[in-house]
Amino acid sequence: DIVMTQSPDSLAVSLGERATINCKSSQSVLYSSNNKNYLAWYQQKPGQPPKLLIYWASTRESGVPDRFSGSGSGTDFTLTISSLQAEDVAVYYCQQYYSTPRITFGPGTKVDIK
């Protein structure tokens, strides 16, 4: 199985400041035939199911605010919230789908307000 790790485990950011979450996969999730990274990001608020934010490492899902952006390639990826809002307090998970359907998730990063 492809193992996903995330850093930090948690972070606290002031409102309006940037939040950066890192994700690393145990093997490359870049598929050479189409040059796409099989990496997604989800947001989960307390008591709610996860919500898809980004797939193909950087494609924003419809309706997701543009303050959320994804970057990276191969084994190293980043989710950036450019200007943290109160409603962004949540746990964020990265997920690989290179080995679909055996998808695996990172352990999550908790984002709070400083």
**N-terminal to C-terminal alpha carbon distance within the chain:** 36
Quick one: which of 2, 67, 107, 110 contacts other proteins (CB under 8 A)?
Answer: 107
Contact by Cβ (8 Å): 72, 80: no
Q: Which of 114, 100, 112, 111 is nearest to 1 (CA)?
A: 100
Complex with other proteins: residue 6 or 75, whichever CB lies closer: 6
Q: Among the candidate windows 13-21, 53-61, 73-81, 82-90, which touches other proteins by CB under 8 A?
A: 53-61
Q: Which residues of this chain interact with other proteins, rule CB under 8 A?
A: 38, 40, 42, 48-52, 55-56, 61, 93, 95, 97, 100-108
